[in-house]
Structure 1
Amino acid sequence: MIESWRWYGAFDKISLPEIAQTGASGIVTALHEIPYGEIWSRQAIAAHNSAIHTAGFTWNVVESLPIHEDIKRGSGNLATLFANYRQSMANLAAEGVHTICYNFMPLLDWTRTDLQSPVKGGGTCLRFSAPRMAAFELFMLGREAAEADYPAEVRQAAAIWFQQSSEADRDGLLTSIMAGLPGAYARYTVEGLKTALAGYEGLGRSDLRASYRQFLQEVVPAAEDLNIRLCVHPDDPPRDILGLPRIVSDADDIGWILDAVDSPANGLTLCSGSLGANPANDVAAIARRFADRIHFAHLRNVAKDADGSFEEAAHLDGDTDMVDLVAALLDEEARRRAEGRADHAIPFRPDHGHELLSDATRDTHPGYPLIGRLRGLAELRGVIRALSRPVAAQ
């Protein structure tokens, strides 16, 4: 497995020389400054790649080459958007970058309600509180249909939180929910979010699936020609948010996606944290079922509550058996080696992490501290080394 690290380029408070000290060899990054739907020029890709190579790394995964919202809605000038996406893929391939992670979540990326929830022993983590999300939807956003999305006990807890919250508490909740938007993407006010959501009115699960199928039909053949591996990232959290459908949340969804255009170029980013937040998901079983289509892995863990809340756990704690999951990925690598594939190794990165020690003073992207992820990488490295050690002859 290829140890990798997410880097936000000019937006990142963590430098490439600092990342070098983690021991990672690969960089996972994107051109976050380019607006959605525009072409990533070969010149911009080359400049970014040069900085990575100069620092001693390989740019092994793009995360993400984002999909314009019009593609998800199935509206607007789709021909131009698809052409631009294909040209960006061609420019990446020309610069030697062949793995592209992306997501198909409408409007919002990953969503949390707390960016600094205390953890045992000190430090903080990201948390999704079902009552706070319900409070935001019901009492701040005023989305009446949200009543049906939360059980009575969650709605009651939401009402109590809202009644007791200050204006600063509510502002902090909005900031947390908006934090998942990547790079320099504009954040919404409550009124701005209402306006944005209006553009998705009437969009159902079947509509989003139809748009997704069209996207795959438009770009996967080009990916095949370019020797590019596309790998969709699961929904985070794996549930409908703000009344918007999520269609990459469980094994059935993944099976539909991979069958929609059945090609090795149409693959999966195995994110153990996103999938692990759904109580019905057995993450290791999902990894084994779709192993041959996993092109990239995010390894992290979550601890779930009965009401639908969850928080980021330490990488080897939480509800997912990380040792079993890593074993599944190593088994797939062994299968690929046996086939003689030169690209048998699966790049992975320690995803998210607790803010520990001096992380609290760095003001890094939420979920992407230096020390917390370094701890996660070290733990995962140990698991991989132990599982890879030849069994002594009896």
Structure 2
Amino acid sequence: MGGILLLLLALFLAPHSQAQTTVLKLTLHDTIQPITQEYIARGLRDAQTSHASAVLLTLGTPGGLLSSTRTIVTAIESSPIPVIVYISPTGSRAGSAGFFLLESADIAAMAPGTNAGAAHPVVEGTTLDPVMKEKLENDTAAFLRSFVSRRGRNVTAAEDAVRNSKSYSDSEALDLKLIDLISPDDATLLRQLDGRTIKRFDGTSAVLSLKNAVIQTDAPSTRERLLTRLASPDLAVLLMVAGGLLIYLEFNVPGTIIPGALGTLCVLLAGFGLNLLPVRHTAVALLLAALVMIVLEAKFASHGVLAAAGIACLVFGLATLVDSPVPELRVHLSTALAAGIGFGAISFFLAGVALKARRNKVLIGPEAMLRQIATVITPLAPTGQVEVRGELWQARLDSPTAALSVGSHARVHAIEGLTLLVIPTGEPE
């Protein structure tokens, strides 16, 4: 009887002891920007709520925004749960801002065939004077030193990645003590770390207990995936251009509702996406100037000079709209050319058509019948019936001695009450 009770007790306790050894896995294979920053911060909170033994952040990034990087590093440093940053799979890299995340972790690991470094700060589209360049470089290097030294890693080699854009392979990073180990996959990495004593950022020591740890993947939410797509500069530009054309169509064809609603939605989504990115204000000024010149070209004949200048401003403004240190967070030139030339040409054409229509006289009622071609339905001698624009009218020839047979054509040149005065098409008015 006692043996049965012990067996039941062991079966009851086994699942609970296994459930306690969990590792929450976050995956960042994207640029570092506000949405990925939010994803990692949420993942660290989830790990604390679920009492995970560690957080495993698998990393592969070309870099990103320094402001988001600083926020993520702060979250890693203050996390009560140990954070393992692992560059994987083979072929991945932690470039630029990703190198800061790697060095800030409790455990820094790399898969074979990966690399990290090249963390020199870059200000896209701006040539800094020597003093400002030195200040930016010193500030970034000091930020890196502030946690590399506390993690017990090679400060000199890490700072070299900032000042001289050095990049290191997995074996070089291990030899220079920039990382703690090289591992081929997640499961092997956790086995290698089981029982290892680490020094936390606050100076305390902790022992990693990762034996038979269960990896629980914390994927980005639907909202985070959607916002990540909206944070794409190319998509934001295309949404803005499409929204502008749809709104312009609504103004020219009022009452259709759908183009205006869709255009407003596109512009709002584009504005939200651009709000997540560093937008250059001079580029916005170029876009406004481009619109003004395109409208002026439609109103004043400049033989295409204003239109060409407007399209050039539009393309250059779109290409430089987002000020980011990595190409993945900038508007590609092909996108800027396609959107700028397409938007400029369509806007110029629509503006010309609209202005031409406004200059024409609007004819309604009987006046709309003047100069219309009528088809004789009954013989005109000199009165009879004619068909004009699908309607039957009483008609009278201007000359009382003239006559027209059925099927002949006449031109309306005057109206008397409900009777059209017509003349043969061959005669001058």
Structure of greater Rg: 2
What TM-score, normalized to structure 1?
0.27
Does 1 or 2 have the higher relative contact order (CA < 8 Å, sep 6+)? 1
Q: What is the TM-score when the length of structure 2 is the normalising length?
A: 0.25
